[in-house]
Amino acid sequence: MKFLENRKNPRKLKLLLGTVILVTLGIIISVFVGYRRLLNQQDNLISVIQRSKANISIGKVHHTATRNGKKEWTLKAVSARVMGDQKQTIVEKPSVVFFLNDGSKVYLTAKQGILETASNNMTAKGNVVVKNEQYTLKTEKLFYNHKKRIIVTKAPVKITGDLFHLKANSMVYNLNTKETWFRGKVRGTINEGISL
């Protein structure tokens, strides 16, 4: 009945139709503006990824390397950029745990790392720290060869433990045999109580 009454009163009908048209137009405009804003954000994200030349960027990375069913090391990082064309993953603030044959562990941290995805070789850069229960090693850059299970640094290295302090220009550490070789201006002190 009210509809019929509105029909008799064209003014109210025009007002009702005008309101419906304005509300519909407002919804269409807000959807259009929101969609444009979303497109701009996607364009910004795409341009950031293209500038970094990364195929994909991800946060909070965890990777485990195994050989013959045995866990050899795990890597955790704050973020990673996968560079597919170079077969590398660049990780920020990596933390690596190497598992040794006798059950002990060696820990590595750095500002940045590069994981070669085909070989599982790694390079750590910037404030590199390697620790185990006996010593702490500090350097600016080192390389891990996954096939040989050795850690190599050609940068100056400083190693401290409870019973010794050593400095050298370069170092090689074999994770399988736990043997270490120092080269170039090797200097250090060995305290009493160390058994050689």
Whether residues 69 and 101 fall in one domain? yes
Whether residues 85 and 179 fall in one domain? yes
Whether residues 105 and 148 fall in one domain? yes
Whether residues 18 and 112 fall in one domain? no
196 part of a folded domain: no
Whether residues 84 and 143 fall in one domain? yes
How confident is the model at residue 38, as a pLDDT?
A: 55
Tokens of 185: 């201006």
Domain that holds residue 114: 56-190
The one-letter amino acid at 59:
G
Q: What is the mean pLDDT of the chain?
A: 81
- Residues 55 and 37: their CA atoms lie apart, in Å, by 24
How confident is the model at residue 8, as a pLDDT?
A: 63
Whether residues 110 and 133 fall in one domain? yes
43 part of a folded domain: yes
Model confidence pLDDT, tens digit, residues 62-91: 888 888 888 888 889 998 888 777 788 888
126 has a pLDDT exceeding 60: yes
How confident is the model at residue 168, as a pLDDT?
A: 92
Whether residues 150 and 117 fall in one domain? yes
Q: Give the CATH number of the domain where residue 125 resides.
A: 2.60.450.10
* pTM (predicted TM-score): 0.66
How confident is the model at residue 5, as a pLDDT?
A: 53
Q: What are phi and psi of 87, to 5 degrees?
A: 55, 45
Whether residues 105 and 15 fall in one domain? no
Number of domains in the chain: 2
How confident is the model at residue 37, as a pLDDT?
A: 62
195 part of a folded domain: no
Which of 52, 72, 88 delimits the end of a domain? 52
Whether residues 31 and 94 fall in one domain? no
Helix then strand then coil, in percent of the chain rounded to 5, is 25, 50, 25
Whether residues 128 and 89 fall in one domain? yes
164 has a pLDDT exceeding 80: yes
Residue 65 CA to chain centroid, in angstroms? 16
How confident is the model at residue 2, as a pLDDT?
A: 55
Average pLDDT of the segment spanning 154-170: 90
Cβ neighbours around 96 below 10 Å, total:
23
